[in-house]
Amino acid sequence: MQNLTATTVPEHVAIIMDGNGRWANARGLPRTMGHRKGVETVRAAVKTAGELGIRYLTLFAFSSENWSRPAAEVSDLMGLLKTFIRRDLADLHRENVRIRVIGDRSNLRGDILPLLVEAEETTRANTGITLVIAFNYGARDEMTRAMRHLAAEVAEGRLRPEDINPQRIAATLDTSGIPDPDLIIRTSGEERLSNFLLWQGAYSELIFVPELWPDFTRETFLAALEKYACRERRFGGVSEPTLAVGS
Ligand code: FPP
């Protein structure tokens, strides 16, 4: 952990948890077993992130495109998320974790929405790490909903088009109030963003690790953070020494 200090630990890490299915297939197990093992990894990752002082951890739990998976797998993923909240909410609350959920809530059926709302309400005043669960989330969908909202405000005469700026758009997204991710990690060796945090990730560092999500250990996490700590972030500008000379 040579390079990890309070100043190099990112404030916000977002993770695309990929590879549960392949992890299960490699063991001759049904895909659902991969997701089950993936939940254990979720628990460990939240713990590690909290210990390291990461303030926000966003996990891509279910995308708006995941509904196209076989019904049994969708149902299993829903069941796992519900069980996670039912079983872990008390522990997370005790550990001062604040939960936020991003994604489209408008068409959620059954008891999933009340559970997500309960998790947010119960932990609202907590001051530890914020666990952001991206559920029924897709960045294009999020941006479409935000644009509709702003267009409606304009149509009602409550907003002038010229007052729409990046800050206003950011405040209309599901992630309102949450800083942009400093680092986005994707597991399983796939190297794409898959409609995840497309607005918020404009300047995020991207790290792709070969490990499948169920194999994402504390050591894998630390190695990714060390790699991040060695990156130079310029946000479209120039590196700091040059800035100092010119300023
Ligand atoms: C990707 O693996 C993983 C998912 C689509 C779901 C991730 C969900 C969990 C880990 C469990 C629930 C989450 C929480 C927060 C409790 P994949 O199935 O696409 O794997 P593959 O690419 O190998 O097929």
CB 132 within 8 A of CB 56: yes
pTM: predicted TM-score of the whole model, two decimal places? 0.94
Query: How many CB atoms are located within 10 Å of the residue 85 CB?
Result: 19
Q: Write down the domain spans for the chain.
A: 12-137+178-229
Q: Separation of 37 CA from ligand 1 center, angstroms?
A: 10
Residue 25 among the catalytic residues = no
Q: Separation of 81 CA from ligand 1 center, angstroms?
A: 11
Nearest ligand 1 atom, CA 81: 16
Nearest ligand 1 atom, CA 135: 15
**For the structural domain made of 12-137+178-229, what CATH number should be given?**
3.40.1180.10
pLDDT tens-place values along the chain, 247 residues long: 656 887 899 999 999 999 999 999 999 999 999 999 999 999 999 999 999 999 999 999 999 999 999 999 999 999 999 999 999 999 999 999 999 999 999 988 889 999 999 999 999 999 999 999 999 999 999 999 999 999 999 999 999 999 999 999 999 999 999 999 999 999 999 999 999 999 999 999 999 999 999 999 999 999 999 999 999 888 888 876 555 444 3
CB 47 within 8 A of CB 55: no
Output the pLDDT for position 2: 59
Output the pLDDT for position 92: 98
Helix, strand or coil for residue 103? coil
